[in-house]
Structure 1
């Protein structure tokens, strides 16, 4: 599911603006998550969640879906999809950096290596391999993509304070953010969304990117005997995404994207492996 959304983002941006995409996808996700909560007989939990954690859930909802996807979709609008989706995978490195001031965690040597490798990959992608000239092809698009990773990392750090069922909480976040998404659509653009292709794309993003992929991942984490046995599978997604971008919309794959993405994946894998080894050594 996650491998297909970069293509969906790029196609839908041909018909709808970023905020219009967010509006359609958010409404779709609310309907989908509401249906899942009904099926699981958990919808009755929603009022108590809103009463007990309304402020936190509103803050989370403003980050995701509103501000995070607004930055991410704008980055996709400015950059080739392969670059935007590769840069988006550095959110785990952003999480490491934000955990220092916000959670009081210390950087390990593995974290330092991951930061160097990961942002080295960003540099390769942003300059399309022209490192000596440091000629950034679209600095605004790159800045927006990296800013979105900071927001996504912040979302997950704040999400650790949320107690209860994560699917019900996500439904609450999206529901609370909807009035702000509607206002942002009116303020930044308009509601003249006439192209059926944009509706299909927005609904697809709402179902798969914001809805089912999240639910499937939570269940995978629940049923896996060891989290590590499935966590590395997520790294299949960006390479599958590159194939789909080339096959469906004909976007040529840059060698610099492959090299940069390889560095980012190497950074994340080495960080996981070295930190696990360090924990085993200290036990």
Structure 2
């Protein structure tokens, strides 16, 4: 049943939840290293998704859906939650939250570029212009507007942030090749990614953090970023016949996020962050518009 008003409510709720995530990442990383944050947040999310699937009476779909394309699910689980969150949390560990979260919003441009070799799509002049505008915003954010210096807060952090956008784009490209219930599919991906996370955490870190505060923050990340926000977003898309409107609402979250970053983390938000983020969002919206026209 179509209900655009209720869909808008769910989309706004999702945007609000997403806007708290960058702050939660930085709080968690005060007590956890990136490996521990990946481990505990994914464990939390996997438990939550399992409960939701059982309550929906879809537990039987887990095996049958996995058996349709086991190789694909194993690959998707490697990409997300494992590699994506390792790169993302590594970037947040090295960069100011305002930079890491803004760079993460350039992932649709990575999707546009990767669709050329992987999906055989043409890169039009308009799409190329959108990519140049978006990555111009990336440089603006990373250099704080000082283009002549090209001095990044952390070059490694920038590379990890951009790598996370590529991994996320790859995940969504290959995710389109599977069918079935989306929540069940996400649970299968997390179950497939969990062994990688357990092994990597055991090799490069330790499972138990030094403070319980980090566990609470990791639990919040698992419940919100990887759990409830995803469910609310799916409900919004299911209830609407205007996906463009719902998608546009999601772009409130990076600007709301800056409010939390400034007031909770105490970061001074640079004018270049606002300018670069606006460039990225404008480029993404323009690219979506051009894609619908094709």
TM-score range, shorter chain: over 0.9
1:167-186 deviations in Å (ceiling 9; x for gaps): 00111111122122111111
Partner of 1:270: 286
1:113·1:271 contact (CA, 8 Å) conserved in 2? Answer: no
Equivalences for residues 177-256 of structure 1 within 5 A: 177-256=193-272
TM-score (norm 1): 0.96
**Structure 1 residue 75 corresponds to structure 2 residue 91:** yes
Partner of 1:139: 155
Query: Post-superposition shift, 1:246?
Result: 0.7
Partner of 2:70: 54
1:57-87 deviations in Å (ceiling 9; x for gaps): 1111111111110011010011000000000
Distance in 2, Cα, partners of 1:80 & 1:18: 15
1:42·1:168 contact (CA, 8 Å) conserved in 2? Answer: yes
Partner of 1:2: 18
In the alignment, structure 1 segments of 5+ residues that lack a partner are none
1:74-110 deviations in Å (ceiling 9; x for gaps): 1001100000000000000000000000000111233
In the alignment, structure 2 segments of 5+ residues that lack a partner are 1-16
Q: After alignment, is 137-146 or 96-105 more displaced?
A: 137-146
- Taking only aligned residues, the RMSD between alpha carbons, in angstroms, comes to 1.1
1:24·1:203 contact (CA, 8 Å) conserved in 2? Answer: yes
Partner of 1:174: 190
Distance in 2, Cα, partners of 1:270 & 1:204: 33
Distance in 2, Cα, partners of 1:97 & 1:25: 30
Moved over 6 A (4+): none
Partner of 2:101: 85
TM-score (norm 2): 0.92
Distance in 2, Cα, partners of 1:136 & 1:45: 47
Q: After alignment, is 196-205 or 135-144 more displaced?
A: 135-144
Partner of 2:5: none
Paired residue total: 278
1:6·1:245 contact (CA, 8 Å) conserved in 2? Answer: yes
Distance in 2, Cα, partners of 1:258 & 1:163: 38
